[in-house]
Amino acid sequence: MTVLKEISIGESLETILKPVSRMDLIKYSGSSGDFNPIHTIDEEAKKAGLPGIIAHGMWTMGNLSKLFTPYYEDGYITDYNIRFSGMVFLNDVLTLKAELVEKIDQSLLFDVKAVNQHEKDVVKGKIKFELC
Amino acid sequence: MYTDYIGLTSTKVKNVVERELVRRFADSIGDNHPIYIDEETGKQSRFGTNIAPPTFPRVLRSGTIDGLKLPLNGLIHGEQIYHYERPLLIGEEVYCYSKIEDYYEKEGSTGKMGFLKMRRYGEDSNGHLIFTEESITIITETVRRSLNV
């Protein structure tokens, strides 16, 4: 395991997710209790004016923070802000990114985002990771 | 009008951060890390137990705000903001309530968009804050008209 304490400004954490599947969204509906059918049922998504089902914004936000999970012995996320800026459809391939932009004492400030296969940001925000 | 609800809070609800709920939640966001799931890893960690992922509080109940009517469909999740004093621990009791922090409207391309800012608070059994979770929900004019608010 690498150590987050040694990361320098401009360095990034990054991972690519498997294409979004219906089962991903069914599982998230169950685990989160958000059963809005636009995330799982095609006809309901179409009725809502969407081209197809879309991922829960919170599914994407939940995935994004896993970039930091391996570093739990170094500290933890104290602040996590996200703006939902684009929709995520079935089979989309998301890249998760976190770039260190500032370091103040024990606080590491990251710009974080999920980008789809068309290079469009779908969620974007900031994470503050407090070292211990 | 939603502005009338600004400042209102719900009654606190007791929740337990259940191991199985955390396991399923972590699995559903593709984050099956042993710090969330494996008891031994939890014990060996600096927390002395397993923790929950940062976006887990979405699962917790925080009561309802009297009279607040929100449409079941057509809401747009605009922003989500977490703040933690410390990670949430598996097995602990968390007391949650929500508060309507703000409501404002902005002119958009499809009419007036309403922005409802709600914050949930999670406290330990001594009333000390563990986390806050803020959601900004966008309510379009079409949806608002159908509710007469």
Kindly state whether residue B32 falls inside one of the protein's structural domains.
no
Average pLDDT, integer, range B129-141: 94
Which of A32, A63, A132 faces B59 most closely, judged by CB atoms?
Answer: A32
Helix (H) or strand (E) segment spanning residue A121: strand A121-131
Whether residue B36 is contained in a domain is answered as no
For residue B81, what are the domain limits? Answer: 2-17+59-147
Among the listed ranges A2-11, A89-98, A100-109, A123-132, which one has the minimum average pLDDT value? A2-11
H helical segments located in chain B: 19-28, 34-37, 39-44, 141-147
Question: Does the pLDDT of residue A37 top 50, yes or no?
Answer: yes
Number of domains in chain B: 1
Instruction: ipTM value, please give it.
Output: 0.96
Question: Which residues of B lie inside 8 Å of A (Cβ-Cβ)?
Answer: 21, 24-25, 27-31, 33, 35-36, 45-47, 51, 53-55, 58-59, 73-74, 76-87
Give me the residue label for tokens 């995330």.
Answer: A39
Per-residue pLDDT tens over the stretch A53-71: 999 999 999 999 999 999 9
Average pLDDT over residues A30-38: 95
Q: What is the pLDDT of residue A1?
A: 47
Q: List chain A residues with CB under 8 Å of B25.
A: 31-32, 62
Question: What CATH number did the domain enclosing B94 receive?
Answer: 3.10.129.10
Check: CB of residue A112 under 8 Å from CB of residue A84: no
Q: Which residues of A touch B47 (CB under 8 A)?
A: 72
Using the predicted structure, report yes or no on whether residue B149 has a pLDDT greater than 80: no
Q: Is residue B71 part of a domain?
A: yes
Q: By the CB < 8 Å criterion, does A33 face chain B?
A: yes
Six-digit token string for B34: 């042993």
Closest CA to A67 of A29, A19, A114: A114
Q: How many CA atoms lie within 13 A of B117 on its CB side?
A: 9
pLDDT reported for residue B121: 98
Would you say B91 and A88 are in contact if contact means Cβ atoms under 8 Å apart?
A: no
User: Which chain B residue has its CA at the smallest distance from A31's CA?
Assistant: B25
Please give the domain boundaries of chain A with CATH numbers for all domains.
10-20+56-131 (3.10.129.10)
